Structure 1
Amino acid sequence: MHHVRTVYDRISAAGRPEIWIHLRPRDEVEAEVAAVDPGLPLAGRLLAVKGNIDVAGLPTTAGCPSYARLPDRDAPVVARLRAAGAVVVGTTNMDQFATGLVGTRSPYGAVRNAVDPDRISGGSSSGSAVAVALGMADFALGTDTAGSGRVPAALNGIVGLKPTYGTVSTEGVVPACASLDCVTVFARTLAEAETALAHMTTGVSHPPERIPGPWRVAVPGPGQLGELDSGVGDAYEDAAARLAAGGARLRPLDLTPFTEAAAMLYEGAFVAERYTAVGEFVDEGHPDLDPTVAAIISGARDVAAHRVYADRARLASLRTRALDTLGDADALLLPTAPGHPTLAEVAADPLGTNARMGRFTNSTNLFGLAAVAVPSGTVRGLPFGVMLIGPAHTESRLTRIAALLTDPPVRLAVVGAHLAGQPLNPQLLALGARQVATTTTAPSYRLHALSTDPPKPGLVRVTDGSGARIEAEVWELPAAGLGALVASLPRPMAIGRVALADGTSAPGFLCEPEAVGDARDITGYGGWRAYRASVGRERDS
């Protein structure tokens, strides 16, 4: 129960009641955690849920008390996480009816930023993001129609993972624009976000086949990012440079179709879908309606039908252009938001400030893409984040690329079938690895040809002075990529420290000693490539 006590102590000490709409009593949460099977993958992990997603027994308000309903069952996405062992702490504040990217449009109060309380937290999933950032929950659910699962992540220094539309059920979610809404997850690390998403999805989707090689990351052409707050452009360039240093290949992209589509989400006919969702309720004129939200939704009532069809045709054209310019790139790198406004700036210009916040995020769901927002340092002492956007169902690929920004790369020594040009090298390339050195091991190893398919050698360290130097390559890859490789490694292969010729060492492929008893000793060839070449010559002779 120590974890629950720690979280509730943080909630009490923070003095931030605007984060929550309904916070469950601590003793209820402690009792539920105690009853969870400790063998479940999310056992005892504390979950915050955006206030427009059903949690059995807690009112679903969508940020409007007079709209509240009391669900008798969880939304499927909440039920799936609970079945995996997660325990709900409470429901969180939000821009009313998920209409906003600022986090201030709520009768429960403006949700202030986790780092600077004079700044916005971002919306509409404001409470969920700040709860995670301040350690009041291990992870949280948000929703994302125009960027609400990404902008709050960037402004509070956490991860926001937005899956492809339809990957996670939106049943039991108060709709904003039902044809675009996505349930998203906030976490403090990529690994936590990926783990949660794995239990949220309704099925397995497979991305298009990817030709192995370095990650291909598109970046906008010069001047296409538009007006940015001071320091944001430099921070973005630094993120792009770090991706390149991590082995990604950057290529230019015309951002125009993305920004033109982004403007259509609120300025065009698509806003009419917000009226379809809750317009009749808003027209009743309840006193707890946020005036900005009410004006946006009521104003959408009069959108002409012909505009809807015209905008759909224009969007189809923009989507074709956007996907053409994206080409075979694995991801598009963008700042998540162009700046970080103060609460006063939003109060002075609520519509203009909100529109600016969605410049880079609004088009993602209109184009049917996946995205992940990750921290990327600070700008003037405030959290700064970037976003990777990719084709549908490439969430796993995007998180591996994002790991180049959030996890320092690790080295891996290879001596056999994973060498450049060898049959298993594509496994490394698919994990974002890049070759950084060609060398040899220290003179303390023997190499054996194993009877495997495809053929692989077994590298074994010896201490009797009979060892030799073996040809080796050193590769760099994200730490998460190394973890995936270790998890998939078949016996008798293993990962251990390999001593290199320059006196350093790195994790590398070794072999269990008992597996080489009957294997041919090929140490004398000096390496796997030389041995395989000799086998080819023998076969040809």
Structure 2
Amino acid sequence: MSSTVSRVRAAYARNEAVDRPEIWIDLRPWEEAEAEARAIDARVAAGEHLPLAGRLFAAKGNIDVQGLPTTAGCPAYAYEPESDAPVVARLRAAGALVLGTTNLDQFATGLVGTRSPYGAVRNAIDPARISGGSSSGSAVAVALGIVDFALGTDTAGSGRIPAAFNGIVGLKPTRGLVPTTGVVPACASIDCVTVFARTLPEAEQALSYLAAPPDRPLRPLPQRAPGPWRIAVPPLSQLGELDEGWAEAYEEAVARLAASGASIRPLDLAPFTEAAAMLYEGAFVAERYTAVGPFIDKLLASGGAGLDPTVSGIITRARDIPAHRLFTDQDRLSALRARALAELSDADALLLPTAPGHPTLADVAADPLGANARLGRFTNSTNLFDLAAVAVPAGEVNGLPFGVMLIGPAFTDDRLATIARALEPRVSLAVVGAHLAGQPLNPQLLALGAVLDRTTTTAPTYRLHALRTTPPKPGLVRVDEDGTAIETEVWSLPAEGLGRLLSALPRPMALGSVELTDGSRVPGFLCEPSALANAEDITAYGSWRKYVERREA
């Protein structure tokens, strides 16, 4: 079965198994998706370069996907787009296949994921808790393994809060790096299209195809003095009330960065939190009325069918904000931004919890505005200050994901992702053959964010065989006698990446415990004994590389 077709079938089976219909506004018929998958596979077979072939994605319901209505979470608003939004078109041009459009807080107004006539999107881990919004369906579709990555949008944190609550990665690029054409705006001047994925490498790969020459002149990156990464961290007292265990989890993330060699320095968080409050409490919310206010007024006049009352209330109240207040708020924001950038000064990034807590669906129902306002404490200011950000998992608290985010100056997106790798839960993997550095399958490890830790040997209790596979690879087996130490590389990679590698591991390869020369044990590639019947014993070489070099000489 061809790879894209098989992945489409697996995705639809997974979607049925998880039984979360609230994820989707419009899921493409599987026959249509499979027909496109066959076409993609045929193009690859004909020699066309499609680097994202076989990758499946979803698009938030305020992003145009040709052939599906764009609703922005409001059925009465729906229109049929004449073409894909550029972000969708770029991914499809690279071979990725879109499965459908996902649910969201209506008109991208909210951080909770519950403000939708299509239903509240439940959290991927605990259905009693919120998924986070407004890009709720996109995040949960990724977290539940239905798609490889998904597009969201972020005005106040919508591309980061859902990532934190569902244990995945959320990349919020610098404004202007990714086009917002074909996106129903929330606040057009600060909106960003974002990427959700289960690992940083997946998210970065998708972003690389979304990004284009920015629609404004590039400014030089802030110059940094030589030395380790410098991470700004506010005192715990400035973080405000956090859920139980979250302060400790945040401190552990700080300690993890310090252990990786980063230099930690203090920062006054006040200008960030003061600006965060202005996004909804100040005049900037008037831009939401500019985007969809007249439509909402007209729909309310005819009964308001399909409107979320919290969303319509926020947007219609913004209609009466006087113009002079906007100029006052702009002046205040400018002063706060200057203070914030001075606080960052030569820091490479600011580390914060992505959110102060994770409410239940019942919590949000009891206090829709208060719960939502609390969630944006750390995220609301990012786009107002024209900063870049990445949200990544940083462990668990009471069985639920805990996430942090790194925030930095505009166009430091790559820098933030590099620093974030130090926060990923990582595991070791021992490889002896085709996954070694420079060998044909090594790019699989690199794509998962793996880095070479060390080169060593196994304990002298193994034998090595050349298997008849494509590409050629060895089989490592443990023996009771006549064993030899085999050259081994130990790679460090994200725990999620190891799981993905294992799920795609073809027979006769297997993952097991490999004993190293120092007596330690790490997961590594082994071989099923049944595959050795016609395999050449190459143990005498002591290394797959030496065997390959001799064979090719």
TM-score bin (small chain):
0.7 to 0.9
CA distance in 1: counterparts of 2:222 and 2:428, whole angstroms = 27
Aligned counterpart, 1:175: 185
TM-score, normalised with respect to structure 2: 0.75
Aligned counterpart, 1:414: none
Which digits, 9 at most, give the CA deviation of each residue in 1:115-135, with x for residues without a partner?
A: 000000000000000000001
Q: How does 1:8-407 map to 2 (within 5 A)?
A: 8-36=12-40, 37-38=43-44, 39-203=49-213, 207-284=221-298, 285=300, 286-406=304-424
Give the aligned residue type for 2:26. H
- Give the 3 Å change call, closer, same or farther, for CA 114–410 of structure 1 in structure 2: closer
| TM superposition shift of 1:184 | 0.1
CA distance in 2: counterparts of 1:400 and 1:12, whole angstroms = 36
**Bigger-Rg structure (1/2):** 1
3-state secondary structure, aligned to 2:328: helix
- Give the 3 Å change call, closer, same or farther, for CA 377–222 of structure 1 in structure 2: closer
| TM superposition shift of 1:13 | 1.4
Aligned counterpart, 1:531: none
Aligned Cα root-mean-square deviation (Å):
3.0
- Overall identity of the aligned pairs, in %: 70
The answer (yes or no) to whether the contact 1:258–1:363 under 8 Å persists in 2 is yes
The answer (yes or no) to whether the contact 1:8–1:136 under 8 Å persists in 2 is yes
| TM superposition shift of 1:222 | 3.6
The answer (yes or no) to whether the contact 1:404–1:478 under 8 Å persists in 2 is no
CA distance in 2: counterparts of 1:279 and 1:33, whole angstroms = 40
3-state secondary structure, aligned to 1:224: helix
Give the aligned residue type for 1:257. P
The answer (yes or no) to whether the contact 1:218–1:329 under 8 Å persists in 2 is yes
CA distance in 1: counterparts of 2:67 and 2:226, whole angstroms = 49
Aligned counterpart, 2:526: none
Give the aligned residue type for 2:170. G
- Give the 3 Å change call, closer, same or farther, for CA 131–216 of structure 1 in structure 2: same
The answer (yes or no) to whether the contact 2:236–2:247 under 8 Å persists in 1 is no
The answer (yes or no) to whether the contact 1:400–1:478 under 8 Å persists in 2 is no
3-state secondary structure, aligned to 1:47: strand
CA distance in 1: counterparts of 2:246 and 2:259, whole angstroms = 20
3-state secondary structure, aligned to 1:223: helix
The answer (yes or no) to whether the contact 1:21–1:51 under 8 Å persists in 2 is yes
| TM superposition shift of 1:477 | 11
TM-score, normalised with respect to structure 1: 0.76
The answer (yes or no) to whether the contact 1:407–1:478 under 8 Å persists in 2 is no
| TM superposition shift of 1:409 | 8.9
Which digits, 9 at most, give the CA deviation of each residue in 1:234-287, with x for residues without a partner?
A: 110011111111111110000000000000000000000000000001111131
CA distance in 2: counterparts of 1:231 and 1:102, whole angstroms = 21
| TM superposition shift of 1:86 | 0.6
| TM superposition shift of 1:209 | 3.8
3-state secondary structure, aligned to 2:266: strand
Aligned counterpart, 1:508: none
3-state secondary structure, aligned to 2:70: coil
Report the count of equivalent residues.
Answer: 437
3-state secondary structure, aligned to 2:126: coil
- Give the 3 Å change call, closer, same or farther, for CA 351–310 of structure 1 in structure 2: same
CA distance in 2: counterparts of 1:82 and 1:275, whole angstroms = 32
- Give the 3 Å change call, closer, same or farther, for CA 84–280 of structure 1 in structure 2: same
CA distance in 1: counterparts of 2:344 and 2:236, whole angstroms = 16
The answer (yes or no) to whether the contact 1:185–1:193 under 8 Å persists in 2 is yes
CA distance in 1: counterparts of 2:232 and 2:491, whole angstroms = 20
- Give the 3 Å change call, closer, same or farther, for CA 409–111 of structure 1 in structure 2: closer
Which digits, 9 at most, give the CA deviation of each residue in 1:349-388, with x for residues without a partner?
A: 0000000000000000000000000011111111110000
CA distance in 1: counterparts of 2:294 and 2:57, whole angstroms = 32
Give the aligned residue type for 2:113. G
Give the aligned residue type for 2:335. S
Aligned counterpart, 1:486: none
Which digits, 9 at most, give the CA deviation of each residue in 1:294-321, with x for residues without a partner?
A: 0000000000111000000000000000
CA distance in 1: counterparts of 2:372 and 2:519, whole angstroms = 56
Aligned counterpart, 1:460: none
Q: Which runs of 5+ in 2 are unaligned?
A: 430-448, 458-489, 495-516, 521-544, 547-553
3-state secondary structure, aligned to 2:239: coil
Give the aligned residue type for 1:105. R
CA distance in 1: counterparts of 2:493 and 2:10, whole angstroms = 29
- Comparing 121-130 with 243-252, greater Cα deviation is found at 243-252
The answer (yes or no) to whether the contact 1:232–1:379 under 8 Å persists in 2 is yes
Aligned counterpart, 1:488: none
Aligned counterpart, 1:516: none
- Give the 3 Å change call, closer, same or farther, for CA 257–33 of structure 1 in structure 2: same
| TM superposition shift of 1:41 | 1.1
CA distance in 2: counterparts of 1:166 and 1:213, whole angstroms = 30
Give the aligned residue type for 2:16. S
CA distance in 2: counterparts of 1:124 and 1:221, whole angstroms = 29
